[in-house]
Amino acid sequence: MAISPAAAVERDFPAPREPVPQPPARIRVLTGYFRTHWETLSAPEQQQLQAGWDTRALPLIEDDPDGDPDVRAVTFLYRNSAAAAVILSANAMVHPDTLGACEFEALPDGLWALTWQMPASWEASYRITVHTGTGTPPWRTAADRRGVRLAADAGGPDPRNSVLSTGMSGAATSVLRLPAAPPAPWLATPVPAASAGTSIMGDDSAAGLLPQGRCWAGGRTSGPRHVLGDFVRSLELRRVRDRHTGRMRNVWLYRPRVPLAAPTPLLVLHDGQVWAKYQNLAGTLDAAIDAGILPPLHVAMVDSVDVPTRSRELSGPTGSVDFAACDLIPELRRSLPLSPDPLHTVISGASYGGLAALWQVARFPGTAATALAQSPSLWRYDLDQPLLEAAGRIRVRLQAGCYEPSIHAPARALHAALAESGVDTDFRSVTGGHDWAWWHPWLIRGLAAVLAD
């Protein structure tokens, strides 16, 4: 299976499988939990809470009423006197079979509450959606799970939670990390599209509207430093030709801002437009390097363009995999002070990007030999044999959320199969779903571990 970039040719690969339906998550709801607390408050205390003057952070996080030290009672509150129904769209938790567990309970005077018992290490993004007027809420009339999820997610962030993140589209989400989730003091604040301010250069140029006053030289842009939200960084936009498709691809390049004493590792990261424009990965990398969590490294964030292009080019053994091995990595090694050791070239991504990272080290271990695959879409391919054929030359690091069982179970099984055959592999189970809320901090933790080896 392993071949050199120069010899890359079309070959027979396993046929992709159809998506696996996700079973509903088990949600423990504490019905009436906050109502009991509400009824103990005096009228002024109730008014204070409703007016938003309460100084306690929301959601409310309390010890488990059943006494389990590994569980917390998490109460989401919302105030809307015109609402007829309110639903919590927490990542991976909304399902046609769990709607009753995700809908808020109505309290007097337009207050709504929902309390879950959740593992104390839970990390999740969420949104709150309100239905007003008469009729059935749209999440209860949707025809399938995707329709249910989209309807439940149509609202916005929690107005009482200031911690925000974003996903593929750049839309703002609220983020909740319970106390047992590992601390991430180096995590930079994401910049959702609605509050991104001046965006990183690349939006206009990607559309063929390169701003005047900048020129192309050797596939790079020359010009001033660029601004991403409130964070000033020199993320360089490169246009790299894909020899297989003939088109130019956008790649955002992160350079460490510290002096370099030696060639650095390279991270190639899929869905680069999200990391560059919204997740503020540059800010996180700066902080993690400054804190000694990561060594200096270069990062190439590869644009996955849009949903159809991403599905076509990132979901299998060719496409973005061939581009990275045959075009991108060779160009970066020619122009940057990078380590030539394939083990120091890390390929990472989430979902389809995680799947592509695994195909990368299976097919091209001489170019990139370390895969850090987050929530890899292993329902699509059985990768045991391709990876075992590259055994002895690769490192495989797998991360999956416990609330994404169609990914978590095959990732654990792949790790077991690789470990039994002597492959350098590791698997981390994260208390979360298919979610940027944990992909961002766990990317850094995974990098820190693999680059320390």
Task: Give residue 331's pLDDT band: very low, low, confident or very high (50, 70, 90).
Answer: very high
Task: Give residue 193's pLDDT band: very low, low, confident or very high (50, 70, 90).
Answer: confident
Distance CA 447, CA 255 (A): 16
What pLDDT was estimated at residue 229?
41
Q: H helices of 15-57, where?
A: 33-38, 43-50
Distance CA 326, CA 3 (A): 11
Give residues with Cβ within 8 angstroms of 68, minimum separation 6.
none
Q: What is the pLDDT of residues 52-68, one digit of tens each?
A: 766 777 899 999 999 99
**Does the pLDDT value for residue 400 go beyond 60?**
yes
Helix/strand/coil percent split, the chain, to 5: 30, 25, 45
Query: In the 8-state DSSP scheme, what is residue 244?
Result: T
What pLDDT was estimated at residue 196?
40
228-256 average pLDDT score? 83
201-212 average pLDDT score? 25
Where b means 16+ CB within 10 Å and e means fewer, 313-338 reads bbbbbbbbbbbbbbbbbebbbeeeeb
164 neighbors 127 (Cβ within 8 angstroms) = no
Task: Give residue 14's pLDDT band: very low, low, confident or very high (50, 70, 90).
Answer: confident
165-194 average pLDDT score? 93
> Half-sphere exposure (CA, 13 Å, Cβ side) for 200?
31
Percent of the chain with pLDDT over 90: 78
Query: For the chain, what is the mean pLDDT?
Result: 88
List the CATH code of the domain at 184-452. Answer: 3.40.50.1820
Task: Give residue 234's pLDDT band: very low, low, confident or very high (50, 70, 90).
Answer: low
Q: H helices of 324-435, where?
A: 329-335, 352-363, 384-389, 405-420
Best CATH choice for the domain 28-170 from the list 2.60.40.10, 1.10.357.10, 3.20.20.70, 1.10.600.10: 2.60.40.10
291 neighbors 258 (Cβ within 8 angstroms) = no
Domain spans of the chain?
28-170, 184-452
337-351 average pLDDT score? 97
User: Can you give the C-alpha Rg of the chain in angstroms?
Assistant: 23
**Does the pLDDT value for residue 129 go beyond 80?**
yes
282 or 226: whose pLDDT is higher? 282
pTM: 0.89
**Does the pLDDT value for residue 201 go beyond 60?**
no
14 or 387: whose pLDDT is higher? 387
> Half-sphere exposure (CA, 13 Å, Cβ side) for 405?
8
What pLDDT was estimated at residue 410?
97
Query: In the 8-state DSSP scheme, what is residue 108?
Result: G
